[in-house]
């Protein structure tokens, strides 16, 4: 699975959009970009994933550049409860064979400030 | 609320004790995972079960013994652990021929070895 690079920490004002960048310059054509977050003392929570098109769900939006070498997770209106470590993970998908693990990087500590 | 349930939430044990961690999911997933997370570090894979068979063992010491008695349950048997084994142990599940399906995590068991 391709390696990802994220800033170690970011701050965001409550109510503003939080934009979390991720670099995955070695991504392959069959690799998805996944985002998870981990709030203190909880397990990782799935947020969103995408291949090459932008994606949106009730939690966030995922913007993937045309060359797929980077992406941005957008939390449109950050709240204090969004304070967490955010992990960007690149993972090969396969419709055959055994399950594959997630390989976590160091992630970004997002702190939402009141 | 998580759909993957782990028990106990906290466990303190001595180095000579034998204990087990339990994980249960009712999402019909046929792949289950154990991850280990040390403080301020990302989760690291330990084991993967696919269709109730062990498919990946990341060179985990034999004092950790996984078991998958059926498609909904995953156990991790612990024996003669060391203080450095103190960590958060996370269970996850997904579809094994997972295409682009995400893994779902429990909130973990926080293990302390005295």
pLDDT band at A1 (very low <50, low <70, confident <90, very high): low
Q: What confidence score (pLDDT) does residue A41 get?
A: 82
Pair A98, B50: CB distance under 8 Å: yes
Kindly report, residue by residue over A11-29, the tens digit of the pLDDT: 999 999 999 999 999 998 8
Query: Which of A31, A99, A104, A107 best probes binding to B when mutated, by most B CB atoms within 10 angstroms?
Result: A99
Helix (H) or strand (E) holding B41: none
**Could you give the CA distance from residue B61 to residue B63 in angstroms, rounded to a whole number?**
5
Kindly report, residue by residue over A16-69, the tens digit of the pLDDT: 999 999 999 999 888 899 999 999 889 999 999 999 989 999 999 999 999 999
Closest CA of chain B from A105, distance in Å: 6
For A61, A79, B58, B98, the CA distances from A92, given in Å and listed in that order, are: 21, 32, 18, 10
Pair B36, B43: CB distance under 8 Å: yes
Q: What confidence score (pLDDT) does residue A15 get?
A: 97
**Could you give the CA distance from residue A71 to residue A90 in angstroms, rounded to a whole number?**
11
pLDDT band at A92 (very low <50, low <70, confident <90, very high): confident
24-83 of A, contacting B, C-beta below 8 A = 32, 34, 41-46, 49, 51
Chain A contacts of B31, Cβ < 8 Å?
98-99
**Could you give the CA distance from residue A89 to residue B17 in angstroms, rounded to a whole number?**
36
State which residue of chain A sits closest to B89, comparing Cα positions.
Answer: A43
pLDDT, tens digit only, all 114 positions of chain B: 569 999 999 999 998 889 999 999 999 999 999 999 999 999 999 999 989 999 888 889 999 999 999 999 999 999 999 999 999 999 999 987 666 788 999 999 999 999
Select from B33, B97, B104 the Cβ nearest to the Cβ of A101: B33
Section A74-99 average pLDDT: 85
Section A77-105 average pLDDT: 84
Phi, psi of B111 (to 5 degrees): -105, 130
Sign of the CA dihedral B65, B66, B70, B72?
positive
Pair A18, A12: CB distance under 8 Å: yes
Q: What confidence score (pLDDT) does residue A91 get?
A: 82
Chain A contacts of B27, Cβ < 8 Å?
none
In a 13 Å sphere around the CA of A74, the CA atoms on its Cβ side amount to 12
**Could you give the CA distance from residue A46 to residue A37 in angstroms, rounded to a whole number?**
7
Candidates B89, B44, B97; CA nearest to A89 is B44
Section A86-98 average pLDDT: 76
């Amino acid at each position: 699975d391709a390696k990802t690079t994220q800033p170690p920490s970011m701050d965001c004002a409550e109510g503003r959009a939080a934009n979390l960048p991720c670099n995955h310059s070695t991504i392959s054509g069959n690799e998805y970009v996944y985002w998870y977050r981990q709030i203190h003392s909880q397990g990782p929570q799935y947020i969103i994933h995408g291949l090459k098109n932008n994606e949106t769900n009730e939690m966030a939006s995922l913007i993937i550049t045309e060359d797929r070498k980077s992406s941005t997770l957008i939390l449109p209106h950050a709240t204090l409860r969004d304070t967490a470590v955010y992990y960007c993970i690149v993972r090969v998908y396969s419709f055959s064979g055994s399950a594959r693990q997630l390989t976590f990087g160091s992630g970004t500590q997002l702190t939402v400030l009141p | 609320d998580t759909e993957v349930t782990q028990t106990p939430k906290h466990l303190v044990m001595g180095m000579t004790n034998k204990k087990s961690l339990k994980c249960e999911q009712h999402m019909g997933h046929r792949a289950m995972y154990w991850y280990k997370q040390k403080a301020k570090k990302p989760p690291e894979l330990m084991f993967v079960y696919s269709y109730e068979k062990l498919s990946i063992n990341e060179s985990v010491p034999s004092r950790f013994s996984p078991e998958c008695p059926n498609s909904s349950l995953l156990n991790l048997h612990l024996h003669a652990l060391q203080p450095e084994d103190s960590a958060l142990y996370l269970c996850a599940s997904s579809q094994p021929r997972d295409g682009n399906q995400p893994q779902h995590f429990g909130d973990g068991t926080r293990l302390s070895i005295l």
